Amino acid sequence: MKKLTQTLVVAALATASAATFAARPSSLVYTGAGTDESGAEYSSYSVKCTDGQRHPLTAWDNRRKWCVGEASQEECHRKQIKAAKKACKAG
């Protein structure tokens, strides 16, 4: 009985830790600059995640505001790492 309980606990912890560390940002690459329809300038970046996928980020206001998506100001964060983590988690 004790062995079965230990096995179940280990399996549950392994599943929980796999979900926690599923996709994290591993690199960020500058891909270009642009201007939106209102004339605001932004920089485009591509974040590579540990699951192998790439997701776009845009930086606005001289890299003071980081947003998930291409030329988007909908899901934004003040810190680059927070936006990159959100992009990897959503992807």
Residue pLDDT, tens place only, 10-23: 666 655 455 555 69
pTM score above 0.75: no
Question: What are the residue boundaries of the structural domains of the chain, listed by start?
Answer: 24-90
What tokens does 48 get? 């590579």
For residues 86 and 72, what is the distance between their CA atoms, to the nearest angstrom? Answer: 14
pLDDT at 71: 86
User: How many beta carbons lie within 10 A of that of residue 67, not counting itself?
Assistant: 21
User: How many beta carbons lie within 10 A of that of residue 5, not counting itself?
Assistant: 9
Beta partners for residue 43, in sequence order = 33, 59
